[in-house]
């Protein structure tokens, strides 16, 4: 049986400042990513850069994703980008519910609407969940369960193959942790927990892939994937450095 490809996502967030820098970072990533057989690379630039990148790159080893999307496809919604617009442009993936968007008042209800709408439009959804902090009583488990189930309310079984769950503990994101990721043992515990919730909810054999995000870098990528038992990584800061991101891709390709 063919081994499933690992998924490595570059979340550029609100970077870089110019088209010129986009080209430098992207061409560096492309040089490595387009050679790798065991990794699916997904680049998620800010909206303004997506169209040009999609038009200029044709290989299937790099796909494109957006960092957000609106929940509606038509109407008077100033400033929004719809799922159909992304799909028709050739964007394949969309990150929904990133903690930095949740911090801007996006709740589980809106996240849920966005997921349903994006899936209906044929996009693959990367749903982010993650707790702000950990406590000794394990309340974060209940928080994660609610975040996951509320976000997926009414999402049917037959959409699960278009869904990825990215576990991103907010406290481990590079901006909050001084680049220190969560331990792979703790990541493993959460992957089991997420799988159990999904299994209880859906009772299907084929589960969504589970990814980890939070200070992933070339030093911890192997440990996070092998011992954290995840299907891939969502990489923020290190994805803006083509050399570092390329190292992550090459390391993961060999696993
Ligand atoms: P980080 O960000 O790799 O910089 O911690 C990950 C993310 O926010 O998706």
The predicted pLDDT at position 204 comes to 86
Please say if the pLDDT value at position 148 is more than 80.
yes
The predicted pLDDT at position 181 comes to 85
Query: For the chain, what is the mean pLDDT?
Result: 95
- Going from the Cα of 235 to the center of ligand 1, the distance in angstroms, rounded, reads 5
Please say if the pLDDT value at position 145 is more than 90.
yes
- Going from the Cα of 101 to the center of ligand 1, the distance in angstroms, rounded, reads 13
Is 67 near ligand 1, meaning CB less than 6 Å away?
no
25, 229 Cβ separation under 8 angstroms: no
Per-residue burial over 157-169, b if 16 or more Cβ lie within 10 Å, else e, is eebbebbbbbbbb
The predicted pLDDT at position 2 comes to 60
Of 24, 60, 68, 16, whose CA–CA distance to 42 is shortest? 60
Write out pLDDT tens, residues 183-214: 999 999 999 999 999 999 999 888 899 999 99
CA distance 150 to 155: 10
- Going from the Cα of 127 to the center of ligand 1, the distance in angstroms, rounded, reads 14
Tokens at 109, concatenated: 């209800």
Query: Which atom of ligand 1 sits closest to the CA of residue 166?
Result: 9
Residue 54 binned pLDDT confidence (cut-offs 50, 70, 90): very high
Please say if the pLDDT value at position 240 is more than 60.
yes
Of 29, 37, 114, 36, whose CA–CA distance to 64 is shortest? 29
Write out pLDDT tens, residues 101-137: 999 999 999 999 999 999 999 999 999 999 998 888 8
Please say if the pLDDT value at position 177 is more than 80.
no
Query: Which atom of ligand 1 sits closest to the CA of residue 11?
Result: 9
Query: Which atom of ligand 1 sits closest to the CA of residue 237?
Result: 4
Tokens at 55, concatenated: 């038009």
Of 1, 31, 11, 3, whose CA–CA distance to 254 is shortest? 3
CA distances from 209 to 95, 110, 192, 198 (A): 14, 22, 12, 11
**Residue 229 CA to chain centroid, in angstroms?**
16
Per-residue burial over 61-92, b if 16 or more Cβ lie within 10 Å, else e, is bbbbbbbbbbbeeeeeeeeebbbbbbbeeebb
Write out pLDDT tens, residues 16-40: 999 999 999 999 999 999 999 999 9
Mean pLDDT value across residues 203-226: 94
Please say if the pLDDT value at position 1 is more than 80.
no
CA distances from 240 to 26, 128, 202, 244 (A): 9, 20, 37, 8
11 three-state secondary structure:
strand
Residue with the smallest CA separation from ligand 1 atom 9 is: 236
Beta strand 62-66 with 93-96 is parallel
Tokens at 86, concatenated: 């992304």
- Going from the Cα of 244 to the center of ligand 1, the distance in angstroms, rounded, reads 14
Does the active-site annotation cover 153?
no
Mean pLDDT value across residues 217-234: 97
Give percent of the chain above pLDDT 70: 99
Higher pLDDT among residues 180 and 14, named by residue: 14
The predicted pLDDT at position 58 comes to 86
Give percent of the chain above pLDDT 90: 90
For each of the domains in the chain, give its residue range(s) and CATH number, in order of start: 6-253 (3.20.20.70)
| Distance between first and last Cα of the chain | 16
Does the active-site annotation cover 98?
yes
């Amino acid at each position: 049986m063919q081994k499933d490809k690992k998924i490595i996502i570059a979340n550029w967030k609100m970077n870089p400042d110019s088209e010129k820098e986009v080209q430098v970072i992207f061409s560096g990533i492309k040089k490595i990513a387009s050679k790798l057989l065991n990794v699916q690379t997904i680049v998620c630039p800010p909206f303004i850069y997506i169209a040009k990148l999609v038009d200029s790159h044709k290989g299937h080893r790099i796909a494109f994703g957006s960092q957000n999307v609106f929940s509606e496809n038509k109407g008077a919604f100033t400033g929004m980008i719809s799922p159909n617009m992304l799909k028709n442009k050739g964007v394949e993936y969309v990150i929904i519910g990133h903690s930095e968007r949740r911090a801007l008042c996006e709740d589980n209800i809106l996240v849920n609407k966005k997921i349903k709408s994006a899936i209906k439009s044929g996009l693959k959804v990367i749903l982010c969940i993650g707790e702000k902090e950990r406590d000794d009583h394990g309340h974060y488990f209940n928080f994660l369960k609610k975040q996951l189930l509320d976000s997926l309310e009414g999402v049917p079984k037959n959409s699960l193959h278009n869904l990825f769950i990215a576990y991103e503990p907010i406290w481990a994101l590079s901006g909050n942790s001084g680049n220190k990721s969560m331990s792979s043992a703790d990541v493993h515990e959460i992957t089991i927990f997420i799988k159990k919730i999904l299994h209880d909810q859906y009772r299907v054999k084929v589960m969504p892939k589970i990814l980890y995000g939070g200070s992933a870098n070339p030093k911890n990528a192997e440990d996070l994937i092998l011992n954290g038992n995840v299907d891939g990584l969502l990489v923020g800061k290190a994805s803006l450095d083509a050399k570092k991101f390329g190292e992550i891709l090459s390391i993961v390709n060999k696993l």
